Amino acid sequence: AGSAMGNSSSRLYSALAKALSSGAVPQPRERAGQRDAPPPEPIDATELLAECRAVLRKRPPRSQRHFVDLRASAAGSHRPIRVMQWNILAQALGEGKDNFVQCPMEALKWEERKCLILEEILAYKPDILCLQEVDHYFDTFEPLLSRLGYQCTFFPKPWSPCLDVEQNNGPDGCALFFLKDRFELVNSANIRLTAMKLKTNQVAIAQTLKCCETGRLFCIAVTHLKACTGWERFRSAQGSDLLQNLKNITQGAKIPLIICGDFNAEPTEEVYREFSNSSLNLNSAYKLLSPDGQSEPPYTTWKIRPSGECRHTLDYIWYSQHALNVNSALGLLTEEQIGPNRLPSFNYPSDHLSLVCDFSFNQDPDRLL
Sorted by where each begins, the domain ranges of the chain are 71-364
DSSP 255-307: S-EEEEEE----TTSHHHHHHHT-TT-EEEGGGGGSTTS-S--S-SEEEEETT
Domain 71-364 superfamily per CATH:
Endonuclease/exonuclease/phosphatase (3.60.10.10)
Q: Which residue has the higher pLDDT, 243 or 341?
A: 243
For the chain, give the mean pLDDT: 90
Query: Could you tell me the pLDDT band of residue 212, with boundaries at 50, 70 and 90?
Result: very high
Can the peptide bond before residue 344 be classed as cis, meaning omega within 30 degrees of 0?
yes
Q: What percent of the chain has pLDDT over 70?
A: 88
Of 360, 357, 362, 361, which is closest to residue 83 (Cα–Cα)? Answer: 357
Query: In the predicted model, is pLDDT for residue 96 greater than 90?
Result: no
List the single range of 113-122, 234-243, 336-345 with lowest mean pLDDT.
Answer: 336-345
Residue type, 270: E
Q: What is the dihedral of CA 271, 275, 276, 282, to 10 degrees?
A: -160
Residues 249-302 pLDDT 10s: 999 889 999 999 999 999 999 999 999 999 999 999 999 999 999 999 999 999
Residues 117-140 pLDDT 10s: 999 999 999 999 999 999 999 999
Residue type, 62: R
Determine how β-strand 324-330 pairs with β-strand 355-361: antiparallel
List the single range of 34-43, 117-126, 223-232, 333-342 with lowest mean pLDDT.
Answer: 34-43
pTM of the predicted structure, to 2 decimals:
0.90
Residues 143-153 pLDDT 10s: 999 999 999 99
